[in-house]
Structure 1
Amino acid sequence: MELDTPVLDNHLHLDPAHGRGIEAVKDFARVGGTHLLVVNKPSWLLGIEVEQGTDFEAVFETTIEVVTDANEVLDGRAWPVLGVHPGLVSKLIDDRGFAPREARDLMQAGLDVAAEYVADGRALALKSGRPHYDVPDTVWNASNAVLQHALALGADHDCAVQLHTEASEDLTEIATWAEERGLDRHRVVKHYASGRLAGPTPSVMSDKDRLAEAAERAETAEEPFLMETDFVDDPDRPGAVLGPKTVPRRVRWLREEGREEAIEIAHVATPAEVYGIDTRTTLG
């Protein structure tokens, strides 16, 4: 179902062992989707209890394998985004008895391993963040240290960093942290964003209200944005977040609304600026 434009879902998960895996990619492609940024699932959801940084390799390899398979299906291509889910801090502290500093160190070690995948070209970007729920100050401080470490790695390896954080329309503090470490703020991406965000680049959840606001701001104020579903690929949560067909369908809706410029910004200009990828030349 051609849309005659690249169509990128900036953040979704694929789980070939427990979920729909490549079948979800086929659904995305059938309705006009062309490009994917596939983020590794949290380690504990893959049944992996990490003890050291190298334990994350099994998580990352699973994502790289499914990206390879996705590239056989898509008219464009897929890229892996690798890192450590910020919710791991609570799993380590609350469930396994880690001290906050021990959890911090292990999560930073996992990010170091993810950065090695970026360095050798096997991954496009890093993923980090901080809890979106209330935590004690010691855990919050440890989480911010992990996030800041990810930003420093992004600067060191010249790559974007996707963030899972609390809901907010103002994350200028994080953007400032990035710039202090040598990473341009536009290369920090707030996953699960609303249509308005100060600081990082918003990756907007693809419901119509959020997209309408993001498209308006993009076209009137030249503000970049990306589109995503956060598809979780979990058979135990079939209605969670948005399905893999959503982004192509929302692109079609934006076209019906006369938002051609917004489509170009979200699926061509912003991916080029943030990740250095060319969604046109990789199409077909």
Structure 2
Amino acid sequence: MTDPDLPTPVLDNHLHLDPRHGRGMDAVRDFRHLGGTHLLVVNKPSWHLGVEAGEPADFRAVFEETIDVAGAADELLDGGAWPVLGVHPGLISRLVDERGFSPDEARELMQGGLSVAAEYVADGDALALKSGRPHYEVSDAVWDASNAVTKHAFTLGAEHDCAVQLHTEASEDLSELAAWADERGLTPERVVKHYAAGRLRGPTPSVMSERDRLERAAKRATEHGDPFLMETDFVDDPDKPGAVLGPKTVPRRVRWLLEEGYDDAIRVAHVETPRRVYGIDTEATLDA
């Protein structure tokens, strides 16, 4: 059951698990011990798992490892865990700058990898897709190719009726990307900006669980009903033990927000938004 001090489901919308190199299930146990109930487990960048993809099928090893680790996490949690699969947008720089791909060749490979990820969504083995574009300066050709990859992800999301998580540059206005999704039949609400600040135009923000960001999001949810999610982007890398946020952070921040009186915002983040974006009923899965 949930922590008695946390009378709510608690979802971390974006974290990574690496039982081969990192803490793996120990991180899930830490999350659960503090009151965490639900996880969305995003595959690590393919090259971090030793996969230097040359064709779309090469991504399968990454996706299947992520499905396996999400399944192991699911068995430990009172709620559940689901895989989110895709191609990290930083791969394009690795392909172009280090491996001699042209931007168009890199685009084709990455779009193919997303199509493979969508097969797992279609089969019910994954919940959502991830895509996006670099958060750093790149050439116009690489930028255009990255945007084409992102648009392909939106097309796949519409075809398979699933959400798309995005890695992008830091911004509080991504209404252009939301419009691209809408044009392809994917409602902008089901486009999720990973590593978001406390407010965002366009996609649904998945807010990094730092107090200042969360307080902005919670105020907007309380006053206007704005949707948001909470995340840590835990990287599970022993070489970067302090990178991003740890797996205990979301339940700790939920407790803090409840103490601050943001009960309605917590319901928005951990019950209403997961249902609207992913079709997850965090209360029913917890009761089950």
TM-score by length of 2: 0.98
Mapping of residues 104-253 of structure 1, within 5 Å = 104-253=107-256
Q: Which amino acid aligns with 2:100?
A: G
The one-letter code of the counterpart of 1:209 is D
Render the CA deviation track for 1:119-167: whole Å, top value 9, x for unaligned: 0100000000000000000000000000000000000000000000000
The one of 46, 49, 53 equivalent to 2:52 is 49
Offset at residue 72 of structure 1 (A): 1.4
**CA offsets per residue over residues 45-104 of structure 1, 9 Å max, x none?**
001110111100000011111111111110110000000000000010011010000000
1:61 aligned to 2:64?
A: yes
Give the superposition deviation at 1:185: 0.4
Residues in 1 aligned to 2:99 and 2:25: alpha-carbon distance in whole angstroms: 33
The residue that corresponds to 1:71 in the other structure is 74
2:99 to 96, 99, 103: 96
Tell whether 2:38 aligns with 1:35.
yes
> 2:111, 2:19 → 1: CA distance?
27
Residues in 1 aligned to 2:97 and 2:23: alpha-carbon distance in whole angstroms: 30
Post-superposition shift, 1:114? 0.2
- Structure-2 separation of matches of 1:198 and 1:72: 36
Q: Under a length normalisation based on structure 1, what TM-score does the superposition of the two structures give? A: 0.99
4+ residue runs over 3 A deviation: none
Deviations 1:157-214 (A, max 9, x none): 0000000000000000000000000000000000000001000000000000000000
Deviation at 1:271, TM superposition (A): 0.2
Q: Secondary structure at the match of 1:280?
A: helix
Gaps of 5+ in 1: none
Aligned partner of residue 192 in structure 2, secondary structure = strand
Shift of residue 255 of structure 1?
Answer: 0.5
Task: Supply the distance in 2 between the matched residues of 1:64 and 1:131 (Cα, whole angstroms).
Answer: 25
2:245 aligned counterpart, secondary structure: coil
- Coordinate RMSD, CA, aligned: 0.5
Distance of 2:84 and 2:116 partners within structure 1: 13
Cα deviations by residue, 1:20-45 (Å, 9 ceiling, x for unpaired) = 11110000000000000000000000
Matched, 1:270 2:273: yes
**Tell me, which stretches of 5 or more residues in structure 2 are unaligned?**
none
User: CA offsets per residue over residues 204-228 of structure 1, 9 Å max, x none?
Assistant: 0000000000000011111000000
Q: Distance in 2 between matches of 1:262 and 1:205?
A: 15
Q: What is the rounded CA distance, in whole Å, between the counterparts of 2:158 and 2:251 in structure 1?
A: 32
Aligned residues: 284
